[in-house]
Amino acid sequence: LHGLGDTGHGWSTVCATDLRLSHVKYICPHAPSRPVTLNLGMQMPAWFDVFGLTPDAEEDEDGINESVKIVHSMIDEEIRNGIPAERIIIAGFSMGGALALYAGLTYDKPLAGIVGLSSFLVQRDKIPGIFFTVAFAHKNEIIQNTHDFQNHTANKNAHILMGHGDADFVVPRTFGEMTAQFIQTFDPNIHIKIYPGMAHSSCPEVSLLYILKKFIFYWLIHFCF
């Protein structure tokens, strides 16, 4: 899942070259075009609207849920085509990573894994089955899911991989670290890797793509054959 203002075309090229693996099918969808408030209402590909870049900024709940349904429908289609859910990994970069994390955690069947690169978690107060007090964004919040759209806990203990550069000033490293700390409170199977000197980048040569390929290869070897 690509980031804000991007399309699936760039990632499809990367998947066909740098991430190419035997027996692996990649799907690189395009986000719909919509006005983005943070960018002065400019129309661009976006999985949801963005109102601010702070941890407690307002979130576009309707846009997020709309995109989650798109992702869930795509997974459902692959399952109908004969690929079990436990052999499907959902991954994304930046905004796409935020969507991948949330869509993965709310899917109703156990997935092989979830990957978020240079990303963060949206709608953290609506993660299924979570009810406790957690420190996030420098304040204590009571986290409880109240939406029946996301009442599935099949991926509450999913294998999750996050990668972040410590020179990322678009989605700061602290966003990734806070996300990982939050998810660790209910899912021990999350791992985050911080890369020194790396900015907000999805270029094929960066280490983020290496860890994505390594993660996919790990699942192929251990669980798919």
Assigned domain for 2 exists: no
Assigned domain for 1 exists: no
Contact at 8 Å (CB) between 8 and 16? no
Please give the pLDDT value at position 213: 72
- Counting the structural domains of the chain, the total is 1
Q: Please give the residue range of the domain that contains residue 215.
A: 8-223
Q: Which of 119, 168, 187, 201 is catalytic?
A: 168
Is residue 62 flagged as an active site residue? Answer: no
Please give the pLDDT value at position 140: 45
The C-alpha angle with vertex 200 and arms to 91 and 55, in degrees rounded to 5, equals 80
Stretches where the chain sits below pLDDT 50 are: 131-149, 204-206, 221, 224-225
Q: Encode pLDDT of 148-171 as tens digits.
A: 445 678 999 999 999 888 889 889
Q: Encode pLDDT of 93-116 as tens digits.
A: 999 999 999 999 999 999 999 999
Please give the pLDDT value at position 124: 86
Residues facing residue 122 across a β-bridge: none
Assigned domain for 3 exists: no
Q: Which of 67, 94, 118, 201 is catalytic?
A: 94
Assigned domain for 69 exists: yes
Q: What's the CATH number where 136 sits?
A: 3.40.50.1820
Q: Which of 76, 108, 191, 200 is catalytic?
A: 200
DSSP secondary structure letters along 40-108: TTEEEE-SS-B--SSTT--B-HHHHHHHHHHHHHHHHHHHHTT--GGG-EEEEETHHHHHHHHHHHT-S
Assigned domain for 176 exists: yes
pTM for the full predicted model: 0.85
Contact at 8 Å (CB) between 48 and 95? yes
Is residue 119 flagged as an active site residue? Answer: no
Is residue 191 flagged as an active site residue? Answer: no
Please give the pLDDT value at position 183: 94
